[in-house]
Structure 1
Amino acid sequence: MNKTTSQDVIKVVWKACDTFRGTMDCSKYKDYILTMLFVKYVSDFYKEKLEELKAKFGDNEDRIQKSLKREKFQLDSECTFDVIYENRNAENIGEIINKILMKIEDDNKEKLEGIFRNIDFNSEAELGRTKERNAALKHLIEDFADDSLDLRPSMLNGDDVIGDAYEFLIANFASDAGKKGGEFYTPGEVSTLLAKLVAPKDGDRIYDPTCGSGSLLIKASKEVGTDNFRLYGQERNGQTQALAKMNMFLHEINDSVIEWGDTLRNPLHLENERLMKFDAIVSNPPFSLDKWGAEDLKDDIYNRFEMGLPPKSKGDYAFIEHMLASLNENGTAGIILPHGVLFRAASEGKIRKQIIEHNWLDAVIGLPENLFFGTGIPACILIFKKNKIDKNIVFIDASREYDKVTNQNIIRNEYIKKIVKCYNDRQEIDKYCHIANPDEIKDNNFNLNIPRYIDTFEEEDIVDIRNVENDIKYIEEELSKVRSILKQHLKEIDFI
């Protein structure tokens, strides 16, 4: 029997999306699709474990139940995808699904608390009135019952089958959702670049304070090279936080801590009532967030804004200061930000100056435009370290390192390698990389705008006007000859 591949999963799930296409925005229907995929995964996992234990212990129900309690998920036999499928024709199928989801969550409170809080399979507003809703749900359930979507562990063609498929689906949902997609997903190649620049190590605590669907954290974890790491994230959108938790489990990362809440107003990763400290931080916070909470955080109890309070209309430096306060003394942070953070003055300029004087900024990397969903503006990556060995700052202009694919630009793997090598080698490369010393930064009044440090001007070729005129004259003569021949042919066929 053929094993299930990522392509099998993607094919079935993408077909299931037809149930909602044209009737609901994909930024909403993705939640129904990915929730159903997660339920199918948990159910198939439970089904196989139960079969194994019955084969091992026979009718000894006590031993079977004791063994099941040691598994990563606890399921009631009446709360599985198979039960949902059996009830697909029920008049109240939406209610049945909701009750099953709540039971799964209640039975796995420690791991799954809140994971289904914002999904309603009985919603008239989202799924229509009873007749239309039931028809849509029946189609959805039947699509997920496809024989090729066998998610039992023994039937998967590798450890990353479901996780890779989930990542692919999230990326495509983000692409279809446009601007809304940028709220929950960072393009994979950008995540890879950031993860390689930060380079988490064995034993690290890795943190993303604006984690979206969790993809950036997962990319960072893959750079560790072992299973000895712990992922921490916080996300203010409840449904997106649920997607992040599912994403972790589907990648077999079962001990992550993904919290729901506003990181700036209410940071939830604490130790002894103080901010938890992390070895590696990766983040793509919302660009220039308005109304981020400046009024409420003038007297921040965690002392995150001792370098100054950023303007209430632009939260970029609020996120930077939060991450610096959360970074341990040997840690590294990589943050994707708009270019405005490099040169804006007033309170942001004062904060930037203090960060540089503390010797925490290690690199400024300019990225190509049109990399992100929902915005075409170019961004940059800032790398921060608390334990720098010198006072220089690496500037890299990677704004031309991209390929255009449909409407989106992408950074190919060879460009990623080039950027990472340049950052690690810290060698001058004409028009690409410059190592700026403290005096240069000071002479530029702590303005970090990349063209101040890297000459990006490209000289144009000198145009020989006389040659151009001769070329034009030759082309006109040839054109005249062609017209004369064409006119003669038209006369021969009595066209003119």
Structure 2
Amino acid sequence: MTDTVQINQDDINKAVWAACDTFRGVISADTYKDFILTMLFLKYISDVYRDEYNKLVTQYGENPELIHAMMSKQRFVLPEGASFWDLYELRYEAGNGERIDKALHAIEEANGSKLKNVFQDISFNTDRLGQEKQKNELLRHLLEDFGKDILNLSSERVGSLDIIGNAYEYLIKHFAASSGKTAGEFYTPPEVSDLLATILEPVEGDEICDPACGSGSLLMKCGAMVRKNSGSRKYALYGQEAIGSTWALAKMNMFLHGEDNHRIEWGDTIRNPLLLEKDGTALLHFDIVTANPPFSLDKWGHEDASADPYGRFRRGTPPKTKGDYAFISHMIETLKPDTGRMGVVVPHGVLFRASSEGKIRKQLIEENLLDTVIGLPEKLFFGTGIPAAILIFKKHKTDKNVLFIDASREFKSGKNQNQLTPENIQKIIDTYQARETVDKYAYLASLDEITENDFNLNIPRYVDTFEEEAEIDLVAVRTERLQLKSELEALEGEMKGYLEELGYGN
């Protein structure tokens, strides 16, 4: 009987992490995570497809032609012989790598533009897994790991979980913890994505972009916010991702969640922006632009910035070894002139570093684009212990002030990583929406005040979190000291008596 108890993300994460044992010691973590996540994708669509097929058989009986016709109208197509279970049944036969690759490419072909080129850089039939016999054994174990009951991923069991996105974040986090590095990638904690999606208020009809989209989770949070607030699926998601395997995950993620109205490009956003108008001469513009780009990226494309054909760096060229303002400048230039609003996660240096960054920051403030600065706790982002901030920009503000929120001291403490609680997030949102000064938490600064501070946005300059120490009662302290002195003299007397009884009087 099929287990219909809803699975939780922890169960999926533990099972996926256990499946990694198949590859440990054979290939590196940043390579085998692609195998694990691709197999998770294949298993999920296979279970969903089988679930739908069984429901139709129950409803209409054994009528192959009718059922085939109805299955062809599903959101995705799973060609005959290409499901996880087809591969699982043949796992003891030679050729596992070749069979898995053929299945993936058949799925890609059958689903047209939805999965175009997604598996082009992922091959299970690779010599990196060893000679044929060893490779076949490894892949048999992998199929058996995903064939376990705990990883039954039917629709009823999974519900609304973002299994690919969440498992991706979990694996990146644990690869970093076990290897001391981040496998070349970072992720946005889910609570930060929730905060950004709520503050930016995506609505029906919005075009939403993340120019450093990773696995696409932040984009999907924005889409979910539109559906939650309006019940409408009338919105469009756009993204670009530089790492090919991560771009593939974003495409798989969109596919799994039925986000068919999306356009995710593969390439370097700064050096080669691909979200362009049809003639390729101008950047596309969006209602919402949001991202957690790489912190202080070295070698971001400084050498070509002065000749940028899209004029993204007209306020100044960011420093050669810190790409933070390269991403900010790009994002600002892709905002629609009337409705554009933007949220970006940055390291604190962006708030106060001088030189070329200071000039760019000054101009953005003078153009009245900066709306809010939110300071986040340290150790919130896995892979770096430094605190980060969120900058909110708007094309049309209702005042010339900037709201500063210091949320750095309110979080749930963890062993290696801190976390924003729902209460922490709600307090930030309430303060942002009220747009008023809150003692020791928020300050609404005027342009004149920011100008007086030389356009330095360091949060402690505006939000005074100093707590006065309690006044010391010197009389009480002296009284306590005299009492302790008296007690000490009594103890010395007792000790002397004991020593004399023992014959140590001298």
TM-score, structure 1 as length reference: 0.89
The residue that corresponds to 1:373 in the other structure is 382
CA shift, 1:14, in A, is 4.0
Q: Structure 1: how far apart are the matches of 2:349 and 2:13?
A: 39
Secondary structure of the residue aligned to 2:92 is coil
| 1:391, distance to aligned residue in structure 2 (A) | 0.7
Aligned pairs for 1:4-153 within 5 A:
4-7=5-8, 9-10=12-13, 12-21=15-24, 25-50=28-53, 56=60, 61=65, 67-125=70-128, 127-153=129-155
Counterpart for residue 251 of structure 2: 245
Q: Which runs of 5+ in 1 are unaligned?
A: none
Closer, same or farther in 2 for the Cα pair 1:46/1:370, shift >3 Å? same
Residues in 1 aligned to 2:307 and 2:251: alpha-carbon distance in whole angstroms: 32
Residues 228-284 of structure 1, C-alpha deviations (whole Å, 9 max, x = no match) = 322211110011111112222333323322211111111111223321111112210
RMSD: 2.9
C-alpha separation in 2, matches of 1:314 and 1:145: 46
Please state if 1:445 is matched with 2:454: yes
1:21 Cα deviation after fit: 4.7
Deviates more, 1:67-76 or 1:327-336: 67-76
Q: 1:333 Cα shift? A: 0.5
TM-score, scaled relative to structure 2 = 0.87
Q: In the alignment, which of 423, 437, 447 is matched to residue 414 of structure 1?
A: 423
SS in 2 for 1:264: coil
> Which of 252, 256, 277 is the equivalent residue of 1:271?
277
Decide whether aligned partners of structure 1 residues 443 and 88 sit closer, same or farther in structure 2, where only a CA change above 3 A counts.
same
Mapping for residues 374-393 of structure 1, pairs under 5 Å? 374-393=383-402
Partner Cα separation in structure 2 for residue 447 and residue 303 of structure 1: 25
| Counterpart amino acid of residue 168 in structure 2 | I
Return the offset for 1:48: 4.2
SS at match of 2:219: helix
Change (3 A) 1:251 1:465: farther
- CA drift of 1:27 comes to 3.8
State the secondary structure of the residue aligned to 2:336. Answer: strand
Query: Would the aligned equivalents of 1:368 and 1:398 in 2 still touch at CA under 8 Å?
Result: yes
CA contact (8 A) 1:270 1:276 kept: yes
Q: Secondary structure at the match of 2:418?
A: strand
SS at match of 2:344: strand
Deviation at 1:380, TM superposition (A): 0.7
Whether contact under 8 Å (2:6, 2:159) holds in the other structure is no
Query: What is the alpha-carbon distance in structure 1 between the residues aligned to residue 411 and residue 294 of structure 2?
Result: 23
2:212 to 179, 189, 210: 210
Q: 1:311 aligns with which of 319, 324, 340?
A: 319
Contact kept, 8 Å, 1:174 with 1:182, in 2: the verdict is: no
Contact 1:427 1:433 in 2 (8 A): yes
Cα 1:65/1:421, change in 2 over 3 Å = same
Do structure 1's residue 321 and structure 2's residue 329 form an aligned pair? yes
Shift of 1:476: 7.8
Q: For residue 230 of structure 1, what is the aligned residue in structure 2?
A: 236
What is the identity, as a one-letter code, of the residue corresponding to 2:208? Answer: I
Choose 114-123 or 474-483, whichever is displaced more: 474-483
- Whether contact under 8 Å (1:184, 1:213) holds in the other structure is no
Identical aligned pairs, as a percentage?
A: 50
Contact residue 205 and residue 280 of structure 1 kept, 8 A:
yes
Instruction: Specify the alignment match of 2:263 in structure 1.
Output: 257
In terms of mean alpha carbon deviation, does 35-44 or 380-389 score higher?
35-44
In 1, Cα distance between equivalents of 2:488 and 2:91: 72
- What is the distance in 2 between the residues matched to 1:333 and 1:236? 21
Output the CA distance in 2 between the equivalents of 1:442 and 1:459: 28
> Please, which moves more after superposition, 192-201 or 42-51?
42-51
Q: 1:206/1:488 Cα in 2 relative to 1: closer, same or farther (>3 Å)?
A: farther
Q: How many residues of Structure 1 are paired with residues of Structure 2 in the alignment?
A: 484
Shift of 1:60: 6.6
Go from structure 1 to structure 2 and tell me whether the alpha carbon gap of 1:11 and 1:450 turns closer, same or farther (over 3 Å shift). closer
Letter in 1 for 2:319: P
Match of 2:370 among 361, 365, 369: 361
Partner AA of 1:423 in structure 2: Y
Distance 2:185 2:236 in 1: 24
Q: 2:3 aligns to what?
A: 2
- CA-to-partner distance for each residue in 1:469-490, whole Å, 9 max, x for gaps? 76567668768988978x979x
Q: State the partner residue of 2:160.
A: 160
Q: Over residues 130-186 of structure 1, what are the superposed CA-to-partner deviations in whole Å (9 max), with x where a residue is unaligned?
A: 444332221210121224433344xx146314x2x4344233213212342682411
Structure 2 counterparts to residues 394-405 of structure 1, below 5 A:
394-405=403-414
Asked if structure 2 preserves the Cα contact closer than 8 Å seen for 1:25 and 1:177, the reply is: no
The one-letter code sitting in structure 1 at the alignment partner of 2:422 is N
Secondary structure of 2:270's counterpart equals coil
Aligned twin of 1:173: 171
**One-letter amino acid of the counterpart of residue 244, structure 1:** A
Q: Which has the higher mean CA deviation after the structures are superposed, 453-462 or 377-386?
A: 453-462
Larger CA deviation: 465-474 vs 241-250? 465-474
Local SS of the residue matching 1:29: helix
Question: 2:435 — aligned with what?
Answer: 426
Q: What secondary structure is seen at the aligned counterpart in 2 of 1:231?
A: strand
